[in-house]
Amino acid sequence: MQARRAARELAFILFSQFDEKIANYTKENMDDIIIKSIRLLISNANDDLKISLGSLIDMKNRIEDYEAEHETNLNRPMGASNIAVPMVMTSDMLSKINSMIDVAEKAVLGLEIAEFTALESQPEVKDFAVKIAQTFREHKSEVDETIKKYAIGWDFDRLVKMDKDILRIAISELLYIKEAPMKVVVDEALELAKKYSTDDSASFVNGILAKVIVDNGIK
């Protein structure tokens, strides 16, 4: 995982813990929230791994039951070991495997971000996440007004908070930090939307950012 990508994901977790008093936050407040964010990532990753493990055990039990109850093994002598049998349907199994892969990937990503942030050799993750947060703190009114301007037909206060936070991170980068290529900022904002928010979030976020980019002549 690239350090900047990890930093944006950490910033997203960081933003989830902000309240309306963000304008009064100090760097020490940010550092404290970073620590809490890392703990939250690790806790969520552990929970995800437990869910994945539970699903694997459930699948193992179902396969063993299917094998034992198959006519091939029911006709075998008592005490004889079961032999492998063909599976008739694969759709249910594939669905469960895909769910476990998704959960496991999220867990691994969370642990990677935590590791990146904790290692002294990777201060860029923490520093850049804090930079995004401090930039938003300094320009909160302008950033939120930008979202309101382009979210035509939407009540800002009723927007999904995850969507607002993703937009806040991306707009802070695009308009004020200006270090990463525009495409990188947008692509990673869309990845956050697909991963953490609703099914319609990616298109909503993309639409808002496209207007910000065009109207501000960002290349």
Q: Which amino acid is at 97?
A: I
The pLDDT of residue 121 is: 45
- For residue 205, the surrounding DSSP H or E stretch is helix 201-215
* Average pLDDT of span 192-218: 92
CA distances from 192 to 31, 104, 165 (A): 22, 17, 10
pLDDT value for 203 = 94
Look at residue 175 in the predicted model and tell me its pLDDT.
96
Go through the chain and tell me how many residues it has. Answer: 219
> Which helix (H) or strand (E) element contains residue 101?
helix 91-118
Nearest alpha-carbon partner for 131 in 2, 4, 37, 1: 4
* Tens digits of residue pLDDT in 151-202: 988 999 899 999 999 999 999 999 999 999 999 999 999 999 998 888 889 9
pTM across the whole model: 0.68
Task: Judge whether 171 and 146 are in contact, CB under 8 Å.
Answer: yes
Q: Where are the domains of the chain?
A: 1-122, 139-219
- When the candidates are 3.30.300.30, 1.10.3720.10, 1.10.940.10, 3.20.20.80, the CATH number that belongs to 139-219 is 1.10.940.10
- The answer to whether residue 45 scores a pLDDT higher than 90 is no
Placement of tokens 């944006």 in the chain: 8
Worst-scoring range by mean pLDDT, 50-54, 105-109, 130-134, 152-156?
Answer: 105-109
State which of 110-119, 126-135, 159-168 shows the largest mean pLDDT: 159-168
Percent of the chain with pLDDT over 70: 87
pLDDT at 55: 78
Question: Could you tell me which residue, 45 or 122, shows the higher pLDDT?
Answer: 45
Q: Which of 32-41, 115-124, 129-138, 171-180 has the lowest mean pLDDT?
A: 115-124
- Per DSSP, the three-state class of 153 is coil
